[in-house]
């Protein structure tokens, strides 16, 4: 009997970990999409403003794109850290 309970316990934990990982992924994807959308909106405003002033440099636009990329990536890295800590603490 005990031999049967051990594998089912491991299976249950594995399934629970998988569900938590999927929930973290969904949360990170939503936050990342929001960051990208807001970043594109800000970038389009800068480009529109630069059309009237003719003073936006490529370096400025490149920095803005890098900032958007960083903000889009952050939800994934923080959720991965939370998940890694969570499953590491259960051991």
pLDDT tens figures, 44-73: 888 887 766 666 677 888 899 999 999 999
What tokens were used for 6? Answer: 């051990």
Average predicted confidence (pLDDT) for the chain: 86
Segments forming the whole domain that contains residue 9 = 2-89
Cα-only R_g, the chain: 21
Could you give the C-alpha distances from 57 to 16, 24, 50, in angstroms and in order?
49, 38, 9
Our count of domains for the chain comes to 1
* Global pTM value: 0.73
């Amino acid at each position: 009997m005990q031999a049967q309970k051990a594998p089912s316990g491991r299976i249950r934990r594995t399934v629970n970990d998988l569900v938590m990982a999927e929930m973290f992924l969904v949360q990170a994807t939503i936050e990342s999409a929001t960051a990208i959308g807001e970043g594109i909106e800000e970038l389009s405003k800068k480009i529109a403003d630069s059309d009237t002033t003719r003073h936006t440099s490529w370096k400025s636009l490149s920095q803005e794109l890098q900032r958007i990329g960083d903000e889009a990536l952050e939800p994934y890295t923080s959720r991965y850290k939370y998940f890694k800590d969570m499953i590491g603490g259960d051991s």
